Amino acid sequence: MTWQRIMIVGGPGAGKSWLAGEIARRTGLPWFCVDDAVWRADGTLRPAEAMDDQVRTWALQSAWIIEGGNSRTYLERACRADVLIVLSPPRWLRVCRVLRRLPSRALLQGTLTYDRLFLQKNLGLKAAMPEQRAFYWLRSRQQVREFLDGLPMNG
C-alpha cells in the first residue's frame, strides 16, 4: 500500500517538521506546514478563518503531508488521511529543542502544557479515521527511526 495523505501532529519541539521533511524526501509527497497558514511573513497571526481555509485547501488535494496544529481542522484532515502520526517524545527533549530556537515565553509555556491540553485529543483522532488507515504514536527517537525504516515508498 502506498500512502498519499499523511497527517503529523505533536507539540512544539516534537520533531514534526523534521519528520515531515524526511518523509517528503523519501516519498516525493508534497509537504505543508500548518505554521505557514498560521503566521504571516511579518510574524503576525492570520485571522482564524484564513488559517482554516488554507489548511482545508491543502487537505483537499490528492496527496500531502500536513504537519502541525490548527486543531479546528483536525477532524477533516484525519478523515482524509491514510496515516496519522502523533509525535510525543519526552517533554525534556521537546523543551531542549524549543530552547534552541530562541523561543518566546508563550512557546515555552505551550511546550510545557501541551500534553495536558492536547495529547488525548491527538490520540483521539484515531477514532475519526477509517478503520483500514494507519496510526502511529511515536514517543522516542528509536520509534521514529523504526517508522522511517519501514516507510512504504510511493511511486
Write out the chain's pLDDT in tens, 155 residues. Answer: 578 999 999 999 999 999 999 999 999 999 999 999 998 888 888 999 999 999 999 999 999 999 998 888 988 999 899 999 999 999 999 999 988 886 688 888 888 888 888 888 888 888 877 777 899 999 999 999 999 998 876 65
Does 108 reside within a domain? yes
CA 45 to chain centre: 19
- How many angstroms separate the CA atoms of 39 and 43, rounded? 6
What are the CA-CA distances from residue 105 to residues 53, 93, 101 (Å)?
A: 28, 17, 12
Does 155 reside within a domain? no
Q: Which residues of 44-71 are buried (b: 16+ CB within 10 A; e: fewer)?
A: eeeeeeebbebbeebbeeeebbbbbbbe
Does 30 reside within a domain? yes
Which pLDDT score is estimated for 4? 93
Range of the domain at 74: 5-149
| CATH number of the structural domain spanning residue 59 | 3.40.50.300
Does 154 reside within a domain? no
Does 102 reside within a domain? yes
Which pLDDT score is estimated for 153? 67
Does 104 reside within a domain? yes
- How many angstroms separate the CA atoms of 37 and 51, rounded? 5
Give me the half-sphere count of Cα atoms (radius 13 Å) on the Cβ side of residue 105: 0
Give this prediction's pTM: 0.89
Does 116 reside within a domain? yes
Please give the single-letter amino acid code of residue 96. Answer: C
Which pLDDT score is estimated for 154? 61
* Count of domains observed in the chain: 1
